[in-house]
Amino acid sequence: MLTPRVFASALLSSLLLAGCSSEALDEGGGDPSAPTERVALVRVYEPAASVPVSATSLAFNPTVDGELWVALRQFPSGLPCTRDDDSGCSALPGAMAVISDAPGDAARAVIKQDGNAWHFMRRPTAMAWGDGELFASCGEAYTDNYEDDGIAYAGPVLWSSSPDIFGVEPLPDQNGTHLDMLHETPFCMGIAHESANVYWVFNGDAGALDRVDFHAPHQIGGEDHADGEVHRYIAGQLSRVAEVPSHLVYDPERHSIYVVDTGHGRVLSVDPSTATPGGKIEILEALQASGLMDGATTHELVRPGTLQKPRGIAFSGSTLYVTDNATGKIHLFDRAGTALRVLDTAMPAGSLAGITIGPDGKPYITDLLTGNVERVEAASP
């Protein structure tokens, strides 16, 4: 692995927490068969930084009551990140806002960033909690090294959420504080946990779902990924929209993946159990196993026309929540894709992004344009 230059993001070191509420004013749009409900929003987190930041994804830490993690990234600089001109590189490292007591009235946050976020958390689009204190993230990049390398060297990363590991200054022999990484998923737009250290990721370059198995984590900041596996499903069937992450969620009851296909304006359910081994995929490191998987069963759970620009997705019981980045609405469906109702946040077009369901049963959402996190107060199933 190349050891890229590390760029600090001091702009994320300050933050502001505030509370406010708002109500939607109209009930139009969305699926005409589903009733639309106006909802109130309460501000949980608001970043204060020297340049604007975007909040792409969020997840509650299952090992710490009320602790909410939020993936933050800067907007594209428009400048190159090459060996000859690295002026745009400083906009690439992402960070995490770790919010304590998010469901309560005294939320407070700290910003944590890996020592080599330039490589391991470049422009994060998504995060997903795994087992215990482990979580994974991935980002919207073709390469996680200098952009004139010309090699699609990017993919998901496994982390520890332990305060003694994540965000702590790496030791001299550590390359950041990551626990594992695989590099076969360029332009990763979403990630979901299956079991153990197995994750599903939206490969925006191949228009596919990659099933990634990290297996055993290596030592903190290590580089041995040889026990990893990457298998590619439904290649060419998904469509990435630049700057709009496309999230997914794994259904353990049906062993299926529900994926937001933003480019095609739909939500797919994918049953990987029907797939059989196919050809090879390009790999850039020694892996235990890899390849194409052909014949996974797909179903258009939500067809084009209901959602304009689907973006985030989450489960609560048997209810599927899907955010629409174009309309500021949250659509609720059952597992069969039947529309249940629509929650109107009144957020501007381009704002509504990631969603998760908190321990209080309420949806928490991120704002791509401001970096804010909001709690939906009037959204009981």
Amino acid at 145: N
* Count of CB atoms situated within 10 Å of the CB of 332: 21
Q: What is the mean pLDDT of the chain?
A: 92
Would residue 74 count as lying in a domain? Answer: yes
d(CA 265, CA 344): 19
pLDDT at position 4: 46
Would residue 215 count as lying in a domain? Answer: yes
Q: Per residue in 122-178, pLDDT tens? A: 999 999 999 999 999 999 999 999 999 889 999 999 999 999 999 999 999 999 999
The residues near 347 (Cβ < 8 Å, ≥ 6 apart) are 41, 328, 367
pLDDT at position 223: 93
Would residue 4 count as lying in a domain? Answer: no
Torsion angles phi and psi, residue 91, rounded to 5: -85, 0
Cβ atoms 176, 117 nearer than 8 A: yes
Q: Per residue in 273-328, pLDDT tens? A: 999 999 999 999 999 999 999 999 999 999 999 999 999 999 999 999 999 999 99
315: left (phi over 0), alpha (psi -120 to 50) or beta: beta
To which H or E segment does residue 117 belong?
Answer: helix 117-120
pLDDT at position 150: 86
pLDDT at position 50: 80
Three-state DSSP class for residue 111: strand
Nearest to 161 by CA among 263, 32, 69: 69
**Structural domain of 221:** 42-303
d(CA 55, CA 150): 28
Would you say residue 230 has pLDDT above 80? yes
pLDDT at position 355: 98
d(CA 338, CA 358): 23
pLDDT confidence band for 32 (50 / 70 / 90): low
pLDDT at position 15: 42
pLDDT at position 266: 98
d(CA 225, CA 344): 44
Token pair 């970043």 is at which residue?
A: 47
Would residue 329 count as lying in a domain? Answer: no
- pTM listed for this prediction: 0.93
* Count of CB atoms situated within 10 Å of the CB of 48: 14
Would you say residue 23 has pLDDT above 50? no
Would residue 109 count as lying in a domain? Answer: yes
pLDDT confidence band for 31 (50 / 70 / 90): low
Instruction: Tell me what percent of the residues of the chain surpass a pLDDT of 70.
Output: 91
Mean pLDDT of 49-69: 95
- Tokens found for residue 370: 């401001």
- Tokens found for residue 56: 């792409």
d(CA 233, CA 318): 25
Mean pLDDT of 60-85: 97
Token pair 């005294």 is at which residue?
A: 106
pLDDT confidence band for 80 (50 / 70 / 90): very high
Q: Which residues pair with 155 in a beta bridge?
A: none
CA angle, residues 70, 87, 148, in degrees to nearest 5 = 90
pLDDT at position 262: 98
Q: Residue 216 is part of a domain; what is its CATH number?
A: 2.130.10
pLDDT confidence band for 378 (50 / 70 / 90): confident
Q: Which residues of 56-72 are buried (b: 16+ CB within 10 A; e: fewer)?
A: bbbbbbeeeebbbbbbb
Would residue 103 count as lying in a domain? Answer: yes
pLDDT at position 176: 97
Cβ atoms 30, 43 nearer than 8 A: no
Torsion angles phi and psi, residue 153, rounded to 5: -115, 80
Would residue 375 count as lying in a domain? Answer: no
Token pair 């659509």 is at which residue?
A: 331
Mean pLDDT of 106-129: 97
pLDDT at position 49: 73
The residues near 136 (Cβ < 8 Å, ≥ 6 apart) are 127, 128, 130, 156, 157, 158, 159, 191, 193, 199, 214
Q: How many structural domains does the chain have? A: 1
pLDDT at position 28: 34
Cβ atoms 99, 110 nearer than 8 A: no
Would residue 114 count as lying in a domain? Answer: yes
